[in-house]
Amino acid sequence: MTAEQTSLPREPGAPVPAIQVRGLHKHYGRHEVLQGIDFQVDAGQVVCVIGPSGSGKSTLLRCVNRLEEPTSGEILIEGIDICDRRTDLDDIRSRIGMVFQQFNLFPHLSVLKNLTLAQRNVRRRSKDEAVEIARQTLAKVGLSDKESAYPAHLSGGQQQRVAIARALSMNPDMMLFDEPTSALDPELVGDVLAVMKELAQEGMTMMVVTHEMGFAREVGDHLVFMDGGVVVEEGRPADVLSHPQHERTQSFLSKVL
């Protein structure tokens, strides 16, 4: 299905947004975790999402690549409605790289194998091609010397950079990060943020749930503050962080800044 076939109107010739979310609701039983979320990420944009624990940030990210099924609402990835039964979810997911707080590397596989497995199985690349791309992405995250190591022998920061490299080696159109530095010792956070910053500067479309306000301010094009399953406030990161308009934003920022 192409963008033209979806129900959302858009200007002729306007670029298709990378991610469009309209009226997204998600219930777990009677608990309404997302209560009508609207937002958009344009191609090449970095959107940071902040908010207190339990506000629905992870649920939102998981809906965007359909790890969770929305209760209602619309999610378009590059103009394609991912809730449409006819949509090929494997194709959509292959366009989206995801990085989690807990790295989720395969512990029994070497770094190189972690990076080649999905390339071989999903992208159907030859072994040689997969290894070459794996080596390129490992170099990008500064871990060329670790290709034979096993995850348990790496620091948390190195593991997270491997997880980023693994996602990148699939050549995604966009990357979703769910608190990628929250499980790291403070001295390891900077290396991971530096990799993400470089990725942003290369033009990668990124949606980043984070508590790193410095990163949001410096790298983010747009900042979304969520609380209680709704977007309370959004705007340019410097504006939201320095001049929050809503009392809930002010209260949250006063605790974390």
Interatomic CA distance for residues 163 and 178, integer angstroms: 12
Contact with ligand ADP (CB under 6 A) among 58, 114, 137, 181? 58
Contact with ligand ADP (CB under 6 A) among 57, 93, 125, 248? 57
Cβ partners under 8 Å of residue 59, min gap 6: 26, 33, 34, 68
Q: Between residue 1 and residue 30, which ones bind ligand ADP under the rule CB under 6 A? A: 28
**Strand 46-50 and strand 205-209: pairing?**
parallel
Instruction: Compute how many residues bind Mg ion; rule: CB under 5 A.
Output: 2
Q: Choose the stretch contacting ligand ADP; rule: CB under 6 A; options: 52-60, 133-141, 153-161, 246-254.
A: 52-60
Q: Choose the stretch contacting ligand ADP; rule: CB under 6 A; options: 3-11, 14-22, 56-64, 200-208.
A: 56-64
Least Å from the CB of residue 3 to ligand ADP = 28
Query: Considering CB distances under 5 to 8 angstroms, the limit depending on partner class, which of ligand ADP, Mg ion, none binds residue 159?
Result: none
The contact pattern for Mg ion, residues 190-209, with x = CB under 5 A and - = no contact, is --------------------
Name the packing angle between helices 127-140 and 111-121 (round to 10°).
130
State how far the alpha carbon of 199 is from the alpha carbons of 53, 112, 116, in Å: 26, 21, 20
Least Å from the CB of residue 132 to ligand ADP = 36
Indicate whether 59 belongs to the interface with Mg ion (CB under 5 A). no
Asked if 174 and 217 count as a contact pair (C-beta separation under 8 A), the reply is no
Asked if 208 and 177 count as a contact pair (C-beta separation under 8 A), the reply is yes
Indicate whether 58 belongs to the interface with Mg ion (CB under 5 A). yes
Query: Interface residues with ligand ADP (CB under 6 A)?
Result: 28, 31, 33, 51, 53-59
